[in-house]
Amino acid sequence: METNQVIEETARQAYGRLLSYLVVNWRDLQAVEDAIGDAFLAALEIWPKVGVPDMPEAWLLTVARRRLIDRARRDRISESALLTLFAMSENTQRLASSSVAFPDERLRMMFLCTDQAIDPVMRTPLMLQTVLGIDAARIASAFIIKPSTMSQRLTRIKAKIRTERLVFEMPDKEEIPDRLDSVLEAIYAAYGRGWDEAAIVDSPRRRLAEEAIYLGKLLLPFAPRESEVYGLLAFMLFCEARREARRDEEGNYIPLSEQECTRWDLSLIMEAERYLHTASQAGRMGRFQLMAAIQSVHAQRLRTGRIEWMAIAQLYEGLVRLHPTLGALVGQAAAVAEVYGTERGITLLEAIPSAEVVNYQSYWALAGHLYKRMNRKEEALSAYSRAIGLSIDTSVRQFLSRQVNEIEMQHL
Amino acid sequence: MSYTLMFYESQEDFEARTDPSRQQEYLAGWTHYVHALRQAGIVVFGSGLYAPETAATMKRRGGEMAVQDGPFPETKEQLGGIFVIDVPDIDTALEWAARGPVDTVEVRQNMPALKQSIDGN
pLDDT confidence band for B73 (50 / 70 / 90): confident
**CATH label of the domain that carries residue A392:** 1.25.40.10
The answer to whether A332 touches A344, Cβ cutoff 8 Å, is: no
In angstroms, the separation between the Cα of residue A145 and the nearest Cα of chain B is 6
More confident position, B76 or A81: B76
A381 chain-B contacts, CB cut-off 8 A: none
Q: What is the pLDDT of residue A338?
A: 97
Q: Is residue A71, in this structure, part of any structural domain at all?
A: yes
Please give the CATH number for the structural domain made up of B2-109: 3.30.70.1060
- Domains contained in chain A, number: 2
Q: What number of C-beta contacts closer than 8 Å exist between A and B?
A: 50
State how far the Cα of B86 lies from the Cα of B107, in Å rounded to an integer: 12
State how far the Cα of A38 lies from the Cα of A63, in Å rounded to an integer: 8
A145 chain-B contacts, CB cut-off 8 A: 91, 94
Q: Which of A67-76, A115-124, A186-195 has the lowest mean pLDDT?
A: A67-76
The residue in chain A having the minimum alpha-carbon distance to the alpha carbon of residue B38 is: A386
Q: What is the pLDDT of residue B120?
A: 54
Q: Is residue A44, in this structure, part of any structural domain at all?
A: yes
Q: What is the pLDDT of residue A80?
A: 67
In this complex, the residue of A146, A386, A388 whose CB is nearest that of residue B90 is A146
In angstroms, the separation between the Cα of residue B41 and the nearest Cα of chain A is 9
Q: Which of A130-134, A287-291, A314-318, B32-36 has the lowest mean pLDDT?
A: A130-134
Domain boundary among A76, A103, A130: A103
B101 chain-A contacts, CB cut-off 8 A: 397
Domain ranges of chain B: 2-109
pLDDT confidence band for A199 (50 / 70 / 90): low
State how far the Cα of B81 lies from the Cα of B83, in Å rounded to an integer: 7
B32–chain A Cβ distance below 8 A for any pair? yes
In angstroms, the separation between the Cα of residue A357 and the nearest Cα of chain B is 10
Q: Is residue A29, in this structure, part of any structural domain at all?
A: yes
The residue in chain B having the minimum alpha-carbon distance to the alpha carbon of residue A390 is: B99
In this complex, the residue of A358, A397, A404 whose CB is nearest that of residue B39 is A358
Domain boundary among A69, A88, A103: A103
Q: What is the pLDDT of residue A103?
A: 74
Q: Is residue A183, in this structure, part of any structural domain at all?
A: no
- The overall average pLDDT reported for chain A is 88
pLDDT digits (tens, 9 = 90+) for A375-395: 999 999 999 999 999 999 999
State how far the Cα of A313 lies from the Cα of A318, in Å rounded to an integer: 9
Q: What is the pLDDT of residue B21?
A: 95
Cis peptide bond N-terminal to A324, omega within 30: no
Residues A385, B31: C-beta atoms closer than 8 Å: yes
pLDDT digits (tens, 9 = 90+) for A266-325: 999 999 999 999 999 988 889 999 999 999 999 999 999 999 999 999 999 999 999 999
Q: What is the pLDDT of residue B117?
A: 63
pLDDT confidence band for A90 (50 / 70 / 90): low
State how far the Cα of A234 lies from the Cα of A292, in Å rounded to an integer: 6
Q: Which of A16-25, A69-78, A395-404, B7-16 has the lowest mean pLDDT?
A: A69-78
DSSP assignment of A137-155 equals HHHHHHHT--HHHHHHHHH
More confident position, A9 or A59: A59
State ipTM.
0.89
B3 chain-A contacts, CB cut-off 8 A: none
The residue in chain B having the minimum alpha-carbon distance to the alpha carbon of residue A397 is: B29
pLDDT confidence band for A350 (50 / 70 / 90): very high
Q: At what angle do helices A176-200 and A120-132 cross, to 10 degrees?
A: 80
Residues A149, B91: C-beta atoms closer than 8 Å: yes
In angstroms, the separation between the Cα of residue A397 and the nearest Cα of chain B is 9
In this complex, the residue of A145, A359, A385 whose CB is nearest that of residue B32 is A385
A146 chain-B contacts, CB cut-off 8 A: 90-91, 94
Q: What is the pLDDT of residue A23?
A: 87
Using the predicted structure, report yes or no on whether residue B121 has a pLDDT greater than 60: no
**Interface residue of B34, B99, B105, B108 to substitute, partner A, most A CBs within 10 Å:** B99
pLDDT digits (tens, 9 = 90+) for A334-346: 999 999 999 999 9
What average pLDDT score do residues A340-369 get? 96
B29 chain-A contacts, CB cut-off 8 A: 388, 397, 401
Q: What is the pLDDT of residue A251?
A: 87
Q: What is the pLDDT of residue A171?
A: 78
The answer to whether A390 touches A326, Cβ cutoff 8 Å, is: no
In this complex, the residue of A145, A358, A388 whose CB is nearest that of residue B94 is A145
Q: What is the pLDDT of residue A55?
A: 85
Q: What is the pLDDT of residue A135?
A: 87
Residues A385, B36: C-beta atoms closer than 8 Å: yes
Q: What is the pLDDT of residue A105?
A: 85
Q: Which of A131-135, B2-6, B36-40 has the lowest mean pLDDT?
A: A131-135
Q: What is the pLDDT of residue A85?
A: 67
Q: Could you tell me the residue range of the domain that residue A404 belongs to?
A: 320-412
Q: What is the pLDDT of residue A174?
A: 81
Helix (H, G, I), strand (E, B) or coil at A247: strand
Domain boundary among A42, A76, A103: A103
